Amino acid sequence: MAYLLPRVSSDDNQPCPFIHDVDVYSLSPAELTNDFAPALAYTGDKAWYFFSALRAKSPGGQRKSRTVDTGGGYWQSEAGAKPVVMVFPEQRRLGHRRIFSFVTKVDGRRVRSGWLMVEIGLDGNDDTVLCKIYFSPRAAARKRKAAAADLEDKIPAPIMSFSSFLK
């Protein structure tokens, strides 16, 4: 909220080195992460931050379109909006956050790609949101495990020598 609130409440578009201005719904997460620099956590984890405009799906603007322009997938909501609350100096609701996973279709089946997005918006302003895109740690662990299993399948079984039978 510290970055989104000043951006929305004024016309001050001060550049931030790790928050990029782009329509996150026009590109797939792979394209976004290739084209823009990530923010690095002290643990080495990467996350990409974007200011993005929301697109209305319905004429009234109540529903939002989160389908990627290239047709390569869409952002599927994982849960309803959760409130973002300011506690000090008084408790009040500032906005909301939603979590999405990027879904593609493979042979007609929906497949989660492992990319996640947290979308943070201000109440009363559906124009601009702050998005954090990152690769799920669980998905990364599954990929490593699958790669290890593939490697294990490719390693030939040890060849036993004749002398091992004599013992």
Q: How far apart are CA 94 and CA 5, in angstroms?
A: 9
* Of 110, 107, 49, 48, residue with least CA distance to 75: 110
Q: What is the CATH number of domain 4-137?
A: 2.170.150.80
Question: What pLDDT sits at residue 6?
Answer: 54
* Of 74, 80, 123, residue with least CA distance to 98: 80
Question: What pLDDT sits at residue 27?
Answer: 87
Give the dihedral sign, CA 144/146/147/148: positive
Question: What pLDDT sits at residue 94?
Answer: 84
Question: What pLDDT sits at residue 95?
Answer: 87
Q: Domain spans of the chain?
A: 4-137
Parallel/antiparallel/unpaired status of strands 74-77 and 82-86: unpaired
* Of 43, 38, 45, residue with least CA distance to 17: 38
Question: What pLDDT sits at residue 1?
Answer: 47
Tell me which long-range contacts 147-156 makes (C-beta under 8 A, separation of at least 24). none
Question: What pLDDT sits at residue 3?
Answer: 53
**Parts of the chain with a pLDDT under 70:** 1-15, 56-65, 140, 142-167
